[in-house]
Each structure stands twice: as structure tokens, then as C-alpha cells.
Structure 1
Amino acid sequence: MKIFGWVYLWIPIYITASCPNNCRRCGQDIGWCQTCEDGYYQSDGTCYKCGNTGCLCRHQNECYGCKEGFYISDGTCNKCRYAGCLCTYRRECYGCMDGFYVKYDYWGNLYCAKCMASCKSCNNDKSCSACKLGFYGSICQKPCSSGCADQCDIYGRCPCKPNFTGSLCDKCIDGFYGENCSQPCSPNCSACSDANSCTSCRRGYYGPTCQIPCLSSMCANGECNRQNGVCSSCVTGYTGYSCNETCSTRCVNDTCDQFTEKCTHKCKHGFHGDKCEYTCPPNCQLCTSMNNCLKCEDGFHGNTCEYSCPSNCQLCNFENKCSKCKEGFYGSICQHNCPEGCSSCDDERKCLSCKASYSNPNKQCQCTIDICSSSPCTTCTNTTFYPDGNECCPCSRNCKHALCSSESTCTGECEDGRLLGWEVRPEMQCQLLLL
């Protein structure tokens, strides 16, 4: 029947050619029919012809409807007058059967023209919209692959039988060959065209039938040349045709070219050369030769890192000026100490970052988390500190004996001359001095 649009459904059935005569669908036991062709009925797995020509039936004498190209009248099916037409009475033509397509005559009357022989349905005489069972292509000129388990679509795609693969099911899976892909390749072949011709080997083997182990167990992924057994590439750290030599330990990641031994990812610190075979000058991390150092160890400078930086200087330039101080120092040659707790500070001794165990550069890194007695930090183990967020900070020097409960509240008395107000109270506000 003429159907507009495309729908592809994969249905687990067996191709009609394998089923009994007049059977449309059969199960795994291909001698037993599940569904018969129109005009036949099924009984005990066998298809029998309906009693009346053109009838659809469930037993011999029934006629509950008609096949395409017939119409029912007085309980019997009569053939439509016009070839390929669907009708409800003899002279009608409201659509076309499978194998025909709609056309109109000079007076605008619908009639059905025959599709090409291989088409199941079509829209014109030049292409097919669906193919007869076992064929595919724009004009259904190509047979479906013998590897198809079911009917293929118009592009040749189908579910595959065992041991077949590919969108058209026209190839054997690895390890098998033959017309039905049922013959196993030789033991070390991953693919072959016959028992004596491997097209690819399993990892670790080479030769016409993949019978010879690769020249080395150090081939990357076990792969080697099919003709001579030379490793395609080596595992990390090995080099040579047979991958039986080690790369220089001076190469970064111990990796080098398989055939030249040149380091793949440059040299480790302190070495140079294609194979990192040369040593850089003392105190030099990165160089191009013994006379040209690109990066010195911390604390040294010069073309060959022959000069020491000032004692508290971590990095310096050729003028002996520090570009980075060691922790806790500042100044042009790192000659001054930062406040205790600061790992770095500016020229006004203002903390920029704190040493380990110290925190809060805004308070000169005098706070610490090490003396919090609870989590979250609500009390401090040292009574001269007060809790502030998640850290303990030192009390003001204006508080007597440096005892306080917060940044601005002393516990007990103030230092002499620092009392705000005239009355003495258990908790008193004291005028703050800079720490």
C-alpha cells in the first residue's frame, strides 16, 4: 500500500526466504509459520489457502476482509477493475497497492502505474521508497548482505548474524573469515582473508600468519611491524629498534626518541645536549652550554651562576640587587627583618603574607590558629589572646597583664593612665595604643 514518510523498525524475524511457502513470518524453528501471507490462514504452523480468492481468513470458509486489489461484496471478494488500484467497488480507484504509484490521466482521474520490478513501493518510475525483501538502494538494485539477520533498510543497514559486523553486516568480526564468517583465523591473527593470510596480528606477534613473537617485550602496546618485527614504538624509558636499550635518566620523564635517543621532553635540571649528556655549570638549573646558564639555583646569579647573592636574598640580578627575599626579610639587598610572623613585608614593614602557624596580615601576622581550644574557635588556651573568627589574636598592651575578652575590652584593669571614665568596673574600656 502507498505509505507517505519513512519509518525503520528492527523486528526480530527471519527472512521470508528461510520460511515455509506462503509464510510471512516464522520463528527460530523455520518449519513453523507464525504469520501467513494475505490469502492464507495458519493451522498448526502450516499455511493453507483461503476458500475464496482474494479473501482474508482465519479458516478456510471465512472471509472477514479482502486482499489489496479486491473489494468485498455479498461476503465474497471481487477484483478491482483497474490494475494496481485499491477500491471499495469495481470501478473505484482511491489509492495504489504496493508495487504501484499514483498518477493522473488527462481528465484528472487517478490511476496506478507499476513501479520498477525490484521496488516494493515507489513515488515514481525512477526511484523506490521501499524495496522488496532482500534488496536495497535508490532503485533497490543491490541485494542485502548475507550477513543480515533481518531485512535491510533502503541504505543496506541491518542487524547482523553472529560473526558478522559493519553497518551493512558485510564484514567478518576479528578472528573469523569465510562466506559465512564461520572459519576461525590462525591463533595469533586478529583478522584474516583465509587460513594462511593474516591481514593483522594480535599484539605481540608478526609474520604472514602472525606466528612469530615481536623482537622485544618492550614494544608499546605489544605492537610491532608485520614484516620485520621491529617495535612500532617503545614503552616509556626504552629506545632502539628492539626497544632493548634504556633512555638516559637525565631526560625529563625518562623518555627519548626510539631511533635517535634524543630526549623527547628536554633535560632535567642541571643537564643539556640532545641526549642530555652534558652537565650544566655548578648552581645552574637550565643551560644551553657550559658558558650560558638560563636559570640559576636560588641564591646565585651570573652567566654561569658563578656569583652568590646577598645572604638573605633568594633571587638577584647581575647588579647584585635582590628581586626576591628569603622568608622574613625585606630591603634592596634583603638586609632588614620583617615583623615576627611575617613571611614577607613591604618597605614600611607592613606584612603582606604570614609564616606557617601565623595568620591575618592586617594585624601584622600576630594571630594564630594553633591555640584555639575549640572548633569553631570560641576560646583560646593562652589568656593573653582573644578569639576572633577562626583564630586567636593578642590582647592590647593597654590591658593590665594583657588580659582581654575582645580586641577593645580588657578583663580586669587597664594599664596605669589608660582608663576611660571615672569608675572602676569588672569590665572596662581602655584607650588603645598601637601594638
Structure 2
Amino acid sequence: MAVLLSLCVFIFQVFQTEGVCPDQYYGVACENQCDVSCKDRLCNSTSGICNGCIDGRYGTNCELTCIVTNCTGNCDRITGDCDTCHLKWYGTNCETSCSTCMTSCIKSDGICNGGCIDGYWGNSCQQQCSNNCNNGGCRQVDGNCNNGCKVGWYRGTCDTSCTVDQCIGGCNRNTGQCSGCTQGYYGSNCQTRCSSNCTVGCNKPTGRCIECKSGIFGDDCNKPCPVNCLDTCTRDEGKCYSCKPNTVGLYCNSSCGTKCLPITDLTQETCDRNGKCTECIVGRYGDGCDLNCSTTCDGNCSRSNGSCTECIVGRHGDRCDKNCSTACDGRCSRSNGRCTECIVGRYGDGCDLNCSTTCDGRCSRSNGRCSLCINGYNGDTCDKECNDKCTVCNQDDINNCSQCKDGRWGTSCNKQCSSNCNGQCDKFDGSCSVCKLGWYGTYCNIKCSGNCTDGCNRISGICTESKIRFVYKNKDEEVSPVVGGVIGAIFGIVITVAVGVTVYCYLSKRKQSSKSKPTSETRGYRYNNHPTINTATTGGDNSTSDHSTYDTLQQVSTEQDEAVNQYQTLNPDPAYVNLGLQ
């Protein structure tokens, strides 16, 4: 410690010998430290006066405090005035705001540097723009509104109101005159009413009607239109826009010519304003409809030159004075005589070419292609024969047959029908329409039963013969349809009698007392495969009638149901089916 102290004393003695103190110290022996308000705590080594002041301090020895908080940096060392102010502040000590400036203001006088914010004007932007300015504020130099005035105000600063209530769209910025008037008013300030005969207002400066009510014309709409005008007339001269029927002229004071076609439904005028007919009566033409159309016109002709609108059949030309070609099928073009259609068998522009003789009817007008071919031919002009198995083939495909020769089928008729088909078979699947006798099935490939005498049904195979075989006393005996009908009639009578007897017996038994018994046997009948029918004789003993006994009623074919069907052919009453006698 003593060593350090001795070192310090040595250093001070050295600086004192040279007349300079170390930094931050002053005095004869450099025994005093500079004031804390000195910048970097540096001062004069003899007097101790600060070399400079820290921010916020001023005075000889920085003993005073700067008094304004809006200073930027330090204040003046002698006066204490601010060197620079914060934005939008000015004055000696930056004590005054210039917040209405757009950017900043001059420190000494507060004049704005970059203009004013909206709503203010003047050098220092301290004056407010008029509340009647449109959005956008006013000019800084004089306060005139930048974007005009609000409706109802005028002059540069928009501080004077328009004085007339009938203005629309405001008034002139400079003169205060109305920009436009409400409908029905005119004048510089819209102070005068338009004429009562104006329909959509009047001219603002002059009061002249823009449009008059129907039937009136003139500047003030105070004159009636001519009596034959239809509805109204021109505003200035009173000329009719349209006339009542059969009147013409600018003022509708003349009539149409007698050759004009009268038009009474008001869809058109009979003639125009100059008396020219709109339409002529049929057969007339010309401005006055005083000329006759050609007799070969089909109807009317042109108003201007008499050319026919249409020609009668077989004629052409402007006046239909030329004959169509004999190859035309009816009409031809009025302008060049070209046939509308050719007669059958002809083609070409002039219908002067012959269709192929194998065409079935017409051919194409342009290239002679046949619409259809006769049987056995195909191709565009039907000049090719179908394949030898077809009778009719597709016009574009020789092997696409639409009809086959007998005994053939398939797309190209290359397949043979079944040999048991009786005639043609179906072209698409080969199925037979009719089978030969003794065969049945889709393709007639199944034999009928050997017991069928006249063939069988093509679909079911059921026999179709006209006679039925019965087994009579163990012998076959064919019964003709006539005999079968007689047998059926006898069976019907027997059944009727049996039913009558049964009903009679039933009613009699109900009347008898419980002790009595019937003296005669009730006749019975059965519907089964072997029935027995008993009949009663009148006035005698019961006896069995001499009817033939049928051991079995059956069809010779293998199916019993077929026999039933055959018997029903002889007698359709189902009560007799399977009925036998014992």
C-alpha cells in the first residue's frame, strides 16, 4: 500500500512539473475531480470548467438543466435553447406542436414543410377547411376545396349555399347556378315551371318542351296535330308519324289508290306516305298497281318489275315464260330451270342421265346411286349380283343376305335348313316354320309318335289326326267323328236322366219319415275311369240297359291326356271325358 501511494505522489509531481493534470482532474495539485455534468467528465485542468456538457445540461459549468422534453439531442451550452426538435414540434425550446403538418415544420416559425393533413390549410396548417368541401380537403395556400363542394354549396371555399330548392346535382362551383333542374322546372336557378303540356320536362335555359303530350305540337306544346294523324305528330312541324287507314301524305290529308290491297287490321299501311301501295291486289304490280302480272305466275309478282314470285308447275323464268324439262318430276328452279326432282329412272343436274336398270325405283340425283336394288342385285348402281344362295342381299355387302333361297339360312345364307322342314326355315336361327308329316320340334328333328296317323303338333308333338281309336271288346275299332258325336249325344242324355233321378230321390227322402225306406234303388253315377250307370225302367223292375261295354277309353298314343283332348274334339262337354259304361 505504501508503495502505491508513493507511486501516485510521483505521478502528480511529474504532471505538476509539466503544468497538466490527468483526465477528469483539475487544481494546483490536480487534487479536484471534474463535475459529473461534464461530458466524459472532462474539464479545464486549471479552472475545472467543463469542456462540454452531457445531454440535458447547459451553463458555464453545465450546472443548468435543459427545460424542454421535445428536444432532440442537447440544448445550447450558453442559452439552453434546443438545437433540434422532435417531428411536428417547434419553438425556442420545442414547446409548440405543429401536428396538423403532413410531415414536419420549421423550428423557428412552425411553417409546415410537406403540406397539411386533410381538413387544414395555411402556412402553419392551423386553419380548418370548410365542412362543405368534398373528401380530399382544401389547398394549403388559400383554403379552396380540392374536389369541389358538397351538394347545395358553391364558391372556392364552398361557404355559400345554393338558394333554389329545385336544383339537382348541386350548383355551379363559381356562379351558384343550378347544374340541373327537377322535372317540370327551368331557369338559371330552376325557378320557373315548364308548360303543363310537356311530358318529360323542358329545356333548362329556354323552357322549350322536350316532348309534347300525344296529339299536340309546337315549342310550348300548344297546337293540335292534324285530325288524320294516328296518335301524334312531329314536335316542330306537326307532320304525322303515321296515318289513319287509307289516308296518306305528310299531314295524312290524302287517300290510297284504288288498286292498293286494302289492309284494315292496322298491322301495315295500305300505302306509304307518298301514296305508293304497300301491296297490290293479286295479279297487279307497279307503284300504282296498274300493271298485270304474267298469267303463268303462281300467285303474285314483284311490285317493282313484274317478275313472278312463283311459277305454275312446269314453267320457269322471271316471268315464268319458259317450259321446264320433260324429265322434271313437276317443278323446276324459277331462276335456271334446274329440276326440283327428276322423274323415276333419271338423274343429273338436267335429269338427262338414266338410272341403272337394276335400281328398284329412284337413284341419287347427284351420282346415280340406287336408292334400292331389285332382288338379287347390290352395289351403288346395283350392278353386282348377290351370292348364289341369296334372293335379296344388302346393297353394300354382297354376303349380307336379307332373304335366302328355299332351304338356306344364315347371314350369308350359307347354312342348310333341316331336311324335315316343309318349305323355308327362319333366316336367323334356322328354325322350321312347318315340319314335314311325322316330324316335330324347333328344327323338325323329332319324330311324332308312331300312333299318330295324320302327324303331330310342331311344338308339343301332340297328334293331330282326325280319328280316335277306342278299345272295344279287346279289339281296335276306329270311330268316325260322326259316330263319336252320336255317342256323345247319348252320353249327354244318360247323364241328364241320372242327375234328374238323383235330385228326385233326394227330395223324396227328405219327405219320408225316418222309419220308411225307399222301395226302389236310387240310381247312381260315377265320374271315374270305370263308371257304371244304372237307369230305371218306368213301370217295371229295374234292369240294365243294353249299352255296349267299353273296357278302356284311351288314345292309342302313349299319353293319356292326349286321348282326353281328342275326345273333347268330338264332344266338348267335359262331363263326358273318361266316362265308360259297364
Q: TM tier, shorter chain?
A: 0.3 to 0.5
* More strand by percentage: 1
TM-score with structure 2 length normalisation?
0.35
* More helix by percentage: 2
TM-score with structure 1 length normalisation?
0.44
